[in-house]
Amino acid sequence: MRRLREFKIALESAAAAWRLAARAAQPGRLPTIGFLGPNTRSAGSEWIVSLVQRLRELGWIDGRNVAMEYRWGEGREERFAEFAAEFVGLKVDVIVTSGTPAVTASKQATSVIPIVFATAGDPVGNNLVASLARPGGNVTGLATLAADLAGKRLELLREIVPGLRRLAIMGNIGNPFTVEELHAVRTAAGTLGLEVVTLEIRHSQDIVSAFEALKVRSEALYVCTDALASTNRIPINILAVGARLPTIHGSRDYVEAGGLISLGPNFPDLFRRAAGYVDKILRGAKPADLAVEQPTKFDLVINLITAKALGIEVPPTLLARADEVIE
């Protein structure tokens, strides 16, 4: 059985290589990159800039020797499968995407077209790759492993909210990695002796009702990072300020949109590195042989405008550690 599976993978990889070579030989036919953005164009604009800039540095210029096709899921997971299938129909040469649900949808749509994920949580545990060192199949990229930062984020919240006792956590329970992160946050909160209320969402329309369901007065809000939350980061932060809740996030763009503080991987850097995978694949490398890497840059960002609106004084020691302060 194992030999049959290995033979199938080898056959599919050979077919993919043949397809790339054949299409490259077609006169006027440019290699095509399909970009599936899980959130919105505005939310993902900085990611695109980083990806395209790095591709240009590597010699790939949109419209000259490569073509880019963009699709935006806007946090709606049903659109991920739709757009992945569309890319298969367009016969793109590589799919670039981000986030476990979008990667999963792409992998379900094709076992032949190479898929590069700029971010994905626990790709081994979520069956995206066989292992980090030897991904196997047609998928590779960068693992964020963001749940590992849950405890550190809560420690930051306790610095900003001395005596923190009651914590609200918001997360999209339709995202397998968010479910893992929710568990990690609850575990870390229990270790710190915090009372926890979980705000479960699946769709944009769940967000307002989630805030309304806060029966017990919480003192801070932990927002799990994913496409749904990213797409709705502005309304989430508006509602949080209205509820007098300091927020902590996993990505800088949430703080730019009015969140209080974020600690997480530098996402533009991850998309720059994803361009390196695309470059290697377009030049003939197989995703199965390209090891999954992890973040090397992490950012601590604080929004003093939001802190002032909440009547919070951020400790100078915390400000001194921040990579960026918005004021």
Superfamily name and number for 2-144+267-296: Response regulator (3.40.50.2300)
Do 121 and 146 touch, CB atoms closer than 8 A?
yes
Q: How far apart are CA 147 and CA 121, in angstroms?
A: 8
What tens digit of pLDDT does each residue of 273-289 get?
A: 999 999 999 999 999 99
What tens digit of pLDDT does each residue of 41-52 get?
A: 988 899 999 999
pLDDT on residue 107: 97
pLDDT on residue 122: 86
**Residue 222 φ then ψ, to 5°:** -100, 120
Q: Which residues pair with 221 in a beta bridge?
A: 168, 247
Give domain limits for the chain.
2-144+267-296, 147-265+299-326
pLDDT on residue 32: 98
Mean pLDDT over 139-154 rounds to 87
What tens digit of pLDDT does each residue of 184-206 get?
A: 999 999 999 999 999 999 999 99
Do 302 and 326 touch, CB atoms closer than 8 A?
yes
Do 263 and 149 touch, CB atoms closer than 8 A?
yes
pLDDT on residue 28: 63
- Say which residues have a Cβ less than 8 Å from residue 123's Cβ, sequence separation at least 6: 100, 103, 117, 129, 132, 135, 139, 141, 143, 292
On average, the pLDDT of the chain sits at 90
Kindly indicate the confidence band of residue 147, based on its pLDDT and cuts at 50, 70 and 90.
low
Q: Is the pLDDT of residue 219 over 60?
A: yes
Q: Where are the beta strands (DSSP E) in 43-165?
A: 67-72, 94-97, 115-120, 139-143
CATH match of 147-265+299-326 with 3.40.50.2300: yes
Q: Is the pLDDT of residue 3 over 80?
A: no
pLDDT on residue 144: 84
Do 174 and 202 touch, CB atoms closer than 8 A?
yes
Report the candidate in 60, 72, 4 with the shortest Cα–Cα distance to residue 35: 72
Q: Is the pLDDT of residue 174 over 80?
A: yes
What's the whole-model pTM score?
Answer: 0.84
Q: Is the pLDDT of residue 18 over 60?
A: no
Q: How far apart are CA 261 and CA 256, in angstroms?
A: 9
Fold match between 2-144+267-296 and 147-265+299-326? yes
Q: In what order do the strands lie in the sheet with 139-143?
A: 67-72, 32-37, 94-97, 115-120, 139-143
- Say which residues have a Cβ less than 8 Å from residue 200's Cβ, sequence separation at least 6: 171, 173, 206, 210
